[in-house]
Structure 1
């Protein structure tokens, strides 16, 4: 099994886990699917330039920000933060399962997963 396939499998399992956790915690599956593609709004940066688009896309498609939301949730118990973070993580896992990775500034289709 190639490294790429291992990462796809790993992210597929994490996507499934995030989906199950979302429902297990009592959040509406309807909202899960409504907001699942919301991070893709960061692709709008490509209208300006590939370099700016890649930077904006990568900000919305790395795990730093949803994990920060989870940490903030742990300390504040602000109810809205946890479902947002779970859906955001699920989106990232789904993208990586489908081989959509972090973008390089040369073109939209050039991702870190394609280099594996």
Structure 2
């Protein structure tokens, strides 16, 4: 079975569980609507170039930060932090479900889920000191 299918199914599971938990905890729908696309604001980093953009996008689209926020919220008893973390994780899951992946530093459209992702892209940025097929932030 294609690994991309597993990643998409994983995204579906995370999305469903995160939204389900959010609703089960009584999170307001208005907050869900306001925060649903907030991680995509990280794309503004591309205004500073593909290297900065890919690092910012990847930080906002990995599960590490929402998990840390959710764990901190649970520990501190801060419901808002838990709700924000659930929306954030749900956003990432939805992105994986529809095929949006982590960005390589060479091009916004070249992701770990895009066709040919296992092959290095044709363009290599000579200013980054790394190889083109290394994910952003892997230095």
**Length-normalised TM-score, structure 2:** 0.78
Greater strand fraction, Structure 1 or Structure 2: 2
Q: Within 5 A, what are the aligned runs for 1:35-46?
A: 35-46=35-46
Contact 2:71–2:82 (Cα < 8 Å) also in 1 = no
- Structure 1 unaligned blocks of 5 or more: none
Equivalent residue number for residue 71 of structure 1: 71
Higher relative contact order (CA 8 A, sep 6+): 1
1:58 to 2:65 alignment:
no
Using the TM superposition, give the Cα deviation of residue 33 of structure 1 relative to its aligned residue in structure 2, in angstroms.
Answer: 2.3
CA distance in 2 between counterparts of 1:91 and 1:79 reads 18
Deviation at 1:98, TM superposition (A): 1.1
- 1:48 matched to 2:48? The reply is yes
Q: Give the deviation of 1:67 after TM superposition.
A: 0.6
For each residue in 1:64-97, what CA deviation from the matched residue of structure 2 results, as whole angstroms up to 9, or x when unmatched?
1111111211221122100010000001101111
Structure number having the greater helix percentage: 1
**Structure 1 stretches of at least 4 aligned residues deviating more than 4 Å after TM superposition:** none
Rg comparison, structure with higher value: 2
Query: Over aligned residue pairs, what C-alpha RMSD do you find?
Result: 1.2
What are structure 2's unaligned runs of at least 5 residues? 119-139
